[in-house]
Structure 1
Amino acid sequence: MTVHALFFCLRPDPDTASRLNAVSGELVRRFGLRAKADRTERLHVTLHHLGWYDDQTDQADVMAEVRQLAEAAASSLRQPPVRADFDLLLSFTRKRRNLPLVLSGGACLDPVRAMRAALGERLRAGGLRTDPHFTPHLTLFYDDAVVEPQPFIVPGWTATEVLLMDSLQGMSTHVELARWSLA
Protein backbone atom coordinates (compact mmCIF):
# COMPACT_ATOMS: atom_id res chain seq x y z
CA MET A 1 0.00 0.00 0.00
CA THR A 2 1.33 3.44 -0.93
CA VAL A 3 0.53 6.51 1.17
CA HIS A 4 0.29 9.78 -0.74
CA ALA A 5 0.69 13.27 0.71
CA LEU A 6 -0.76 15.99 -1.52
CA PHE A 7 0.62 19.50 -1.16
CA PHE A 8 1.06 22.84 -2.91
CA CYS A 9 4.58 24.24 -3.00
CA LEU A 10 7.11 26.57 -4.52
CA ARG A 11 10.17 24.83 -5.98
CA PRO A 12 13.51 26.41 -6.78
CA ASP A 13 14.82 26.45 -10.32
CA PRO A 14 17.59 23.88 -11.02
CA ASP A 15 20.47 26.36 -10.52
CA THR A 16 19.07 27.53 -7.18
CA ALA A 17 18.43 23.94 -6.09
CA SER A 18 22.08 23.10 -6.83
CA ARG A 19 23.23 26.14 -4.88
CA LEU A 20 21.02 25.17 -1.91
CA ASN A 21 22.39 21.63 -2.08
CA ALA A 22 25.91 23.09 -1.81
CA VAL A 23 24.74 24.99 1.29
CA SER A 24 23.65 21.63 2.71
CA GLY A 25 27.14 20.25 2.16
CA GLU A 26 28.66 23.25 3.92
CA LEU A 27 26.35 22.72 6.91
CA VAL A 28 27.15 19.01 7.09
CA ARG A 29 30.84 19.88 7.42
CA ARG A 30 30.30 22.82 9.79
CA PHE A 31 28.08 20.95 12.26
CA GLY A 32 29.33 17.39 11.77
CA LEU A 33 25.95 16.19 10.46
CA ARG A 34 25.07 13.23 8.25
CA ALA A 35 23.05 14.24 5.20
CA LYS A 36 21.95 10.85 3.86
CA ALA A 37 20.98 11.69 0.30
CA ASP A 38 20.98 14.47 -2.26
CA ARG A 39 17.64 16.25 -1.90
CA THR A 40 18.07 18.62 -4.87
CA GLU A 41 15.01 17.23 -6.69
CA ARG A 42 12.80 17.47 -3.57
CA LEU A 43 13.69 20.96 -2.33
CA HIS A 44 10.56 23.08 -1.93
CA VAL A 45 8.61 25.45 0.30
CA THR A 46 5.26 23.91 1.18
CA LEU A 47 2.30 26.28 0.94
CA HIS A 48 -0.59 23.97 1.87
CA HIS A 49 -0.70 20.32 2.85
CA LEU A 50 -3.91 18.70 1.55
CA GLY A 51 -3.81 15.43 3.48
CA TRP A 52 -2.57 11.84 3.41
CA TYR A 53 -4.30 9.19 1.33
CA ASP A 54 -3.57 5.54 0.79
CA ASP A 55 -4.23 3.86 -2.54
CA GLN A 56 -7.18 1.80 -1.33
CA THR A 57 -10.33 2.35 -3.39
CA ASP A 58 -12.22 4.66 -1.00
CA GLN A 59 -9.12 6.73 -0.22
CA ALA A 60 -8.20 6.94 -3.90
CA ASP A 61 -11.64 8.39 -4.64
CA VAL A 62 -11.27 10.97 -1.85
CA MET A 63 -7.79 11.90 -3.09
CA ALA A 64 -9.12 12.38 -6.63
CA GLU A 65 -11.87 14.67 -5.34
CA VAL A 66 -9.43 16.72 -3.25
CA ARG A 67 -7.10 16.99 -6.22
CA GLN A 68 -9.92 18.24 -8.45
CA LEU A 69 -10.96 20.89 -5.91
CA ALA A 70 -7.34 21.91 -5.36
CA GLU A 71 -6.68 22.28 -9.07
CA ALA A 72 -9.80 24.43 -9.46
CA ALA A 73 -8.64 26.66 -6.60
CA ALA A 74 -5.13 27.04 -8.02
CA SER A 75 -6.51 27.80 -11.48
CA SER A 76 -8.34 30.82 -10.04
CA LEU A 77 -5.23 32.21 -8.32
CA ARG A 78 -3.99 35.53 -9.68
CA GLN A 79 -0.66 36.18 -8.03
CA PRO A 80 2.56 37.80 -9.21
CA PRO A 81 5.85 35.91 -8.90
CA VAL A 82 6.93 35.64 -5.27
CA ARG A 83 10.37 36.00 -3.74
CA ALA A 84 11.54 33.36 -1.25
CA ASP A 85 14.66 34.29 0.74
CA PHE A 86 15.88 32.92 4.06
CA ASP A 87 17.60 34.37 7.13
CA LEU A 88 17.28 31.63 9.75
CA LEU A 89 18.67 28.11 10.15
CA LEU A 90 17.19 25.66 12.66
CA SER A 91 16.15 22.10 13.36
CA PHE A 92 12.47 21.32 13.81
CA THR A 93 12.34 19.29 17.02
CA ARG A 94 8.78 17.92 17.12
CA LYS A 95 10.17 14.40 17.16
CA ARG A 96 13.21 12.80 18.77
CA ARG A 97 15.07 11.50 15.70
CA ASN A 98 15.44 12.28 12.00
CA LEU A 99 14.96 16.00 12.56
CA PRO A 100 14.47 18.34 9.59
CA LEU A 101 17.22 20.95 9.23
CA VAL A 102 15.48 23.90 7.62
CA LEU A 103 15.97 27.36 6.23
CA SER A 104 13.25 29.72 7.42
CA GLY A 105 12.93 33.39 8.14
CA GLY A 106 11.11 36.45 9.28
CA ALA A 107 10.06 39.37 7.11
CA CYS A 108 12.08 38.02 4.17
CA LEU A 109 9.39 35.32 3.80
CA ASP A 110 6.39 37.67 4.04
CA PRO A 111 5.78 37.38 0.26
CA VAL A 112 5.47 33.59 0.69
CA ARG A 113 3.07 34.08 3.62
CA ALA A 114 0.92 36.40 1.47
CA MET A 115 0.90 33.91 -1.40
CA ARG A 116 -0.12 31.12 0.96
CA ALA A 117 -2.95 33.26 2.35
CA ALA A 118 -4.26 34.00 -1.15
CA LEU A 119 -4.17 30.33 -2.13
CA GLY A 120 -5.75 29.37 1.20
CA GLU A 121 -8.71 31.67 0.56
CA ARG A 122 -9.36 29.93 -2.76
CA LEU A 123 -8.99 26.47 -1.24
CA ARG A 124 -11.49 27.28 1.54
CA ALA A 125 -13.89 28.85 -0.97
CA GLY A 126 -13.72 25.56 -2.88
CA GLY A 127 -14.61 23.55 0.22
CA LEU A 128 -11.17 22.37 1.34
CA ARG A 129 -9.79 22.77 4.85
CA THR A 130 -6.48 24.52 5.44
CA ASP A 131 -4.16 24.41 8.43
CA PRO A 132 -3.88 27.81 10.15
CA HIS A 133 -0.40 26.95 11.48
CA PHE A 134 2.37 27.74 9.06
CA THR A 135 6.11 28.17 9.35
CA PRO A 136 7.46 28.83 5.88
CA HIS A 137 10.61 26.79 5.44
CA LEU A 138 12.75 24.78 3.07
CA THR A 139 13.97 21.43 4.42
CA LEU A 140 17.61 20.88 3.50
CA PHE A 141 17.94 17.37 4.96
CA TYR A 142 17.27 15.27 8.07
CA ASP A 143 19.65 14.45 10.91
CA ASP A 144 19.42 13.33 14.54
CA ALA A 145 21.46 16.29 15.82
CA VAL A 146 19.71 19.50 16.85
CA VAL A 147 20.89 22.76 15.30
CA GLU A 148 19.66 25.63 17.49
CA PRO A 149 17.97 28.56 15.71
CA GLN A 150 20.55 31.01 14.39
CA PRO A 151 20.81 33.78 11.82
CA PHE A 152 21.82 32.35 8.46
CA ILE A 153 21.23 34.45 5.36
CA VAL A 154 20.68 32.46 2.18
CA PRO A 155 19.41 34.12 -1.00
CA GLY A 156 16.56 32.11 -2.45
CA TRP A 157 14.76 32.59 -5.73
CA THR A 158 11.80 34.26 -7.37
CA ALA A 159 9.12 31.62 -7.76
CA THR A 160 7.22 31.94 -11.02
CA GLU A 161 5.05 28.84 -10.54
CA VAL A 162 3.04 27.10 -7.87
CA LEU A 163 2.99 23.29 -8.02
CA LEU A 164 0.66 20.56 -6.81
CA MET A 165 2.75 17.58 -5.68
CA ASP A 166 2.22 14.01 -4.52
CA SER A 167 4.82 12.80 -2.02
CA LEU A 168 5.02 9.01 -2.02
CA GLN A 169 5.68 8.37 1.65
CA GLY A 170 8.70 6.25 2.50
CA MET A 171 9.97 6.33 -1.09
CA SER A 172 11.74 9.72 -1.11
CA THR A 173 9.77 10.53 -4.26
CA HIS A 174 7.78 13.60 -5.23
CA VAL A 175 5.53 13.42 -8.27
CA GLU A 176 4.45 16.66 -9.93
CA LEU A 177 0.70 16.59 -10.56
CA ALA A 178 0.14 20.09 -11.95
CA ARG A 179 1.67 23.58 -12.13
CA TRP A 180 0.38 27.10 -12.60
CA SER A 181 2.28 30.20 -13.67
CA LEU A 182 2.39 33.21 -11.39
CA ALA A 183 1.92 36.36 -13.41
Structure 2
Amino acid sequence: MTDSKFPHNRLFFALWPDDETRASCAEAARDLKTRMQPDGYLLKPERYHITLPYLGGYVPPDQEAAAKQVAQLVSLPPFILTLDQANSFKNREVPWYLAPLETPPELTLLHDHLRDALRNSGVSVERMRFTPHLTVVRNATVQIPPTRIKPVVWQVKEFVLIRSVLHDQPAEYQILGRWPLNGVWQPKQPPPQMALF
Protein backbone atom coordinates (compact mmCIF):
# COMPACT_ATOMS: atom_id res chain seq x y z
CA MET A 1 0.00 0.00 0.00
CA THR A 2 1.24 3.50 -0.78
CA ASP A 3 0.38 6.95 0.49
CA SER A 4 1.02 10.09 -1.55
CA LYS A 5 2.00 12.04 1.58
CA PHE A 6 4.70 9.57 2.66
CA PRO A 7 5.83 7.66 -0.45
CA HIS A 8 9.37 6.92 0.72
CA ASN A 9 9.05 6.23 4.44
CA ARG A 10 10.32 2.84 5.52
CA LEU A 11 9.42 1.02 8.70
CA PHE A 12 11.51 -1.78 10.19
CA PHE A 13 12.53 -3.43 13.43
CA ALA A 14 16.23 -3.30 14.19
CA LEU A 15 19.06 -3.72 16.63
CA TRP A 16 20.32 -0.27 17.60
CA PRO A 17 23.90 -0.13 18.97
CA ASP A 18 24.78 1.53 22.26
CA ASP A 19 27.36 4.33 22.13
CA GLU A 20 30.34 2.10 22.90
CA THR A 21 29.41 -0.44 20.24
CA ARG A 22 28.75 2.34 17.74
CA ALA A 23 32.21 3.81 18.37
CA SER A 24 33.87 0.40 17.94
CA CYS A 25 32.04 -0.17 14.64
CA ALA A 26 33.11 3.28 13.42
CA GLU A 27 36.73 2.48 14.26
CA ALA A 28 36.50 -0.80 12.33
CA ALA A 29 34.95 1.03 9.36
CA ARG A 30 37.69 3.68 9.28
CA ASP A 31 40.35 0.98 9.46
CA LEU A 32 38.75 -0.93 6.58
CA LYS A 33 38.56 2.17 4.41
CA THR A 34 42.19 3.04 5.11
CA ARG A 35 43.42 -0.48 4.35
CA MET A 36 41.14 -1.37 1.42
CA GLN A 37 40.52 2.03 -0.27
CA PRO A 38 36.99 1.30 -1.53
CA ASP A 39 36.13 4.89 -2.55
CA GLY A 40 32.45 5.41 -1.73
CA TYR A 41 31.66 7.00 1.61
CA LEU A 42 31.54 5.98 5.24
CA LEU A 43 28.09 5.99 6.79
CA LYS A 44 27.65 8.24 9.78
CA PRO A 45 27.83 6.15 12.97
CA GLU A 46 24.45 7.45 14.13
CA ARG A 47 22.89 5.50 11.22
CA TYR A 48 24.37 2.12 12.24
CA HIS A 49 21.81 -0.62 12.83
CA ILE A 50 21.03 -4.23 11.99
CA THR A 51 17.68 -4.67 10.27
CA LEU A 52 15.26 -7.26 11.64
CA PRO A 53 11.85 -7.71 9.94
CA TYR A 54 11.21 -5.00 7.33
CA LEU A 55 7.59 -3.88 7.11
CA GLY A 56 7.71 -1.93 3.86
CA GLY A 57 7.89 1.48 2.26
CA TYR A 58 4.66 2.69 3.81
CA VAL A 59 2.87 1.04 6.70
CA PRO A 60 -0.71 2.15 7.46
CA PRO A 61 -1.28 3.52 10.97
CA ASP A 62 -3.31 0.50 12.07
CA GLN A 63 -0.53 -1.91 11.09
CA GLU A 64 2.09 0.30 12.74
CA ALA A 65 0.06 0.21 15.96
CA ALA A 66 -0.35 -3.57 15.67
CA ALA A 67 3.40 -3.99 15.14
CA LYS A 68 4.07 -2.08 18.37
CA GLN A 69 1.59 -4.28 20.23
CA VAL A 70 3.30 -7.40 18.89
CA ALA A 71 6.67 -6.09 20.06
CA GLN A 72 5.32 -5.61 23.58
CA LEU A 73 4.52 -9.34 23.74
CA VAL A 74 8.06 -10.47 22.90
CA SER A 75 9.85 -12.07 25.84
CA LEU A 76 13.26 -13.21 24.67
CA PRO A 77 16.73 -13.16 26.25
CA PRO A 78 19.55 -10.66 25.83
CA PHE A 79 22.59 -12.00 24.02
CA ILE A 80 26.11 -11.23 22.87
CA LEU A 81 26.63 -10.47 19.18
CA THR A 82 30.23 -10.46 17.96
CA LEU A 83 30.91 -8.64 14.69
CA ASP A 84 34.21 -10.11 13.53
CA GLN A 85 34.23 -9.92 9.76
CA ALA A 86 33.61 -7.45 6.94
CA ASN A 87 31.99 -8.31 3.64
CA SER A 88 30.01 -6.68 0.83
CA PHE A 89 26.83 -7.17 -1.18
CA LYS A 90 26.74 -7.22 -4.96
CA ASN A 91 24.00 -4.65 -5.45
CA ARG A 92 24.53 -1.35 -7.26
CA GLU A 93 25.57 0.58 -4.15
CA VAL A 94 28.22 -2.07 -3.29
CA PRO A 95 27.68 -1.66 0.44
CA TRP A 96 30.35 -2.90 2.80
CA TYR A 97 29.20 -4.22 6.14
CA LEU A 98 30.26 -5.75 9.43
CA ALA A 99 28.80 -9.12 10.37
CA PRO A 100 29.24 -12.10 12.68
CA LEU A 101 31.17 -15.11 11.48
CA GLU A 102 28.61 -17.16 13.39
CA THR A 103 25.12 -15.79 13.98
CA PRO A 104 24.06 -16.39 17.59
CA PRO A 105 20.90 -18.52 17.81
CA GLU A 106 19.25 -15.84 19.97
CA LEU A 107 19.47 -13.35 17.08
CA THR A 108 17.91 -15.79 14.63
CA LEU A 109 15.20 -16.55 17.19
CA LEU A 110 14.46 -12.85 17.69
CA HIS A 111 14.16 -12.21 13.95
CA ASP A 112 12.03 -15.29 13.24
CA HIS A 113 9.86 -14.79 16.32
CA LEU A 114 9.11 -11.18 15.39
CA ARG A 115 8.47 -12.04 11.72
CA ASP A 116 6.08 -14.88 12.54
CA ALA A 117 4.27 -12.91 15.25
CA LEU A 118 3.75 -9.97 12.90
CA ARG A 119 2.38 -12.19 10.15
CA ASN A 120 0.12 -14.03 12.60
CA SER A 121 -1.26 -10.65 13.66
CA GLY A 122 -2.02 -9.53 10.11
CA VAL A 123 0.95 -7.17 9.72
CA SER A 124 2.61 -7.30 6.31
CA VAL A 125 6.31 -8.20 6.37
CA GLU A 126 8.60 -8.05 3.35
CA ARG A 127 9.89 -11.48 2.33
CA MET A 128 13.67 -11.36 2.34
CA ARG A 129 16.45 -13.60 3.52
CA PHE A 130 17.77 -12.60 6.93
CA THR A 131 21.48 -11.81 6.66
CA PRO A 132 22.46 -9.91 9.80
CA HIS A 133 24.75 -7.05 8.81
CA LEU A 134 25.66 -3.51 9.84
CA THR A 135 26.41 -1.34 6.80
CA VAL A 136 29.44 0.96 7.13
CA VAL A 137 30.31 1.97 3.52
CA ARG A 138 28.10 2.76 0.53
CA ASN A 139 28.93 3.23 -3.16
CA ALA A 140 32.23 1.39 -2.90
CA THR A 141 33.86 0.89 -6.29
CA VAL A 142 35.01 -2.63 -5.45
CA GLN A 143 33.62 -5.56 -3.54
CA ILE A 144 35.42 -6.86 -0.50
CA PRO A 145 35.90 -10.58 0.16
CA PRO A 146 35.15 -11.85 3.67
CA THR A 147 37.77 -10.08 5.77
CA ARG A 148 38.46 -10.58 9.46
CA ILE A 149 38.32 -7.48 11.66
CA LYS A 150 39.05 -6.72 15.29
CA PRO A 151 35.98 -8.20 17.00
CA VAL A 152 33.27 -5.81 18.12
CA VAL A 153 31.49 -7.39 21.10
CA TRP A 154 27.93 -6.08 21.40
CA GLN A 155 25.75 -6.74 24.43
CA VAL A 156 22.31 -6.75 22.80
CA LYS A 157 19.70 -5.80 25.38
CA GLU A 158 16.86 -4.35 23.30
CA PHE A 159 15.33 -3.98 19.85
CA VAL A 160 13.67 -0.95 18.29
CA LEU A 161 11.15 0.08 15.64
CA ILE A 162 12.52 2.64 13.19
CA ARG A 163 10.93 4.87 10.60
CA SER A 164 13.35 5.99 7.87
CA VAL A 165 12.09 9.32 6.56
CA LEU A 166 13.54 9.60 3.08
CA HIS A 167 11.66 12.66 1.82
CA ASP A 168 13.79 14.74 4.22
CA GLN A 169 17.41 15.15 3.18
CA PRO A 170 19.53 13.93 4.71
CA ALA A 171 17.26 11.00 5.49
CA GLU A 172 16.27 10.76 9.14
CA TYR A 173 15.81 7.76 11.39
CA GLN A 174 13.03 8.09 13.94
CA ILE A 175 12.89 5.53 16.75
CA LEU A 176 9.19 4.81 17.32
CA GLY A 177 9.61 2.36 20.19
CA ARG A 178 12.12 0.39 22.26
CA TRP A 179 11.56 -3.02 23.85
CA PRO A 180 13.94 -4.74 26.28
CA LEU A 181 15.23 -8.26 25.85
CA ASN A 182 14.76 -9.57 29.38
CA GLY A 183 13.22 -12.98 28.86
CA VAL A 184 14.75 -16.45 29.12
CA TRP A 185 16.06 -18.84 26.47
CA GLN A 186 13.17 -20.86 25.02
CA PRO A 187 14.12 -22.13 21.52
CA LYS A 188 10.66 -23.64 20.91
CA GLN A 189 8.71 -20.60 22.10
CA PRO A 190 5.81 -19.93 19.70
CA PRO A 191 5.20 -16.39 18.45
CA PRO A 192 2.40 -14.44 20.12
CA GLN A 193 -0.83 -14.04 18.18
CA MET A 194 -3.03 -11.00 18.30
CA ALA A 195 -6.24 -10.30 16.44
CA LEU A 196 -6.54 -7.02 14.58
CA PHE A 197 -9.76 -5.13 15.15
TM over 0.5: yes
2:15–2:160 Cα contact (<8 Å) kept: yes
Q: State the 1:37 CA deviation.
A: 4.8
Choose from 51, 57, 67 the match for 1:52.
57
Q: Report whether the alignment pairs 1:127 with 2:122.
A: yes
Partner of 1:58: none
Report the residue type matching 1:64 in the other structure: P
Report the residue type matching 2:47 in the other structure: R
3-state SS in 2 of match to 1:99: coil
Partner of 1:74: 71
Partner of 1:9: 14
The 1:145–1:135 alpha-carbon spacing in structure 2 relative to 1, beyond 3 Å, is: same
Q: With structure 2 as the length reference, what TM-score do the two structures score?
A: 0.79
Partner of 2:91: 94
Instruction: Give the Cα separation in 2 of the matches to 1:64 and 1:34.
Output: 40
Report the residue type matching 2:44 in the other structure: R
Among all aligned residue pairs of Structure 1 and Structure 2, give the percentage whose two residues are the same amino acid.
Answer: 27
When the two chains are superposed, the root-mean-square deviation of aligned CA atoms in Å is 1.9
Report the residue type matching 1:138 in the other structure: L
Instruction: Give the Cα separation in 1 of the matches to 2:60 and 2:150.
Output: 38
1:11–1:43 Cα contact (<8 Å) kept: yes
Instruction: Give the Cα separation in 2 of the matches to 1:35 and 1:84.
Output: 27
Partner of 2:27: 22
2:11–2:56 Cα contact (<8 Å) kept: yes
Partner of 1:147: 144
Instruction: Give the Cα separation in 2 of the matches to 1:65 and 1:149.
Output: 41
Partner of 1:172: 171
Instruction: Give the Cα separation in 2 of the matches to 1:19 and 1:88.
Output: 13
2:25–2:152 Cα contact (<8 Å) kept: no
Instruction: Give the Cα separation in 2 of the matches to 1:32 and 1:106.
Output: 23
Report the residue type matching 2:180 in the other structure: S
Gaps of 5+ in 1: 54-61
Q: State the 1:153 CA deviation.
A: 5.2
Q: State the 1:129 CA deviation.
A: 3.3
Q: How many residues align?
A: 173
Gaps of 5+ in 2: 183-197
Per-residue deviation, residues 47-97 of structure 1 (Å, max 9, x unmatched): 1110002xxxxxxxx5312211110110110011132212331111122xx
- Tell me which protein shows more strand as a share of its residues: 1
1:87–1:108 Cα contact (<8 Å) kept: no
Per-residue deviation, residues 135-162 of structure 1 (Å, max 9, x unmatched): 1111112123211223445223111111
1:161–1:179 Cα contact (<8 Å) kept: yes
3-state SS in 2 of match to 1:144: coil
- Tell me which protein shows more helix as a share of its residues: 1
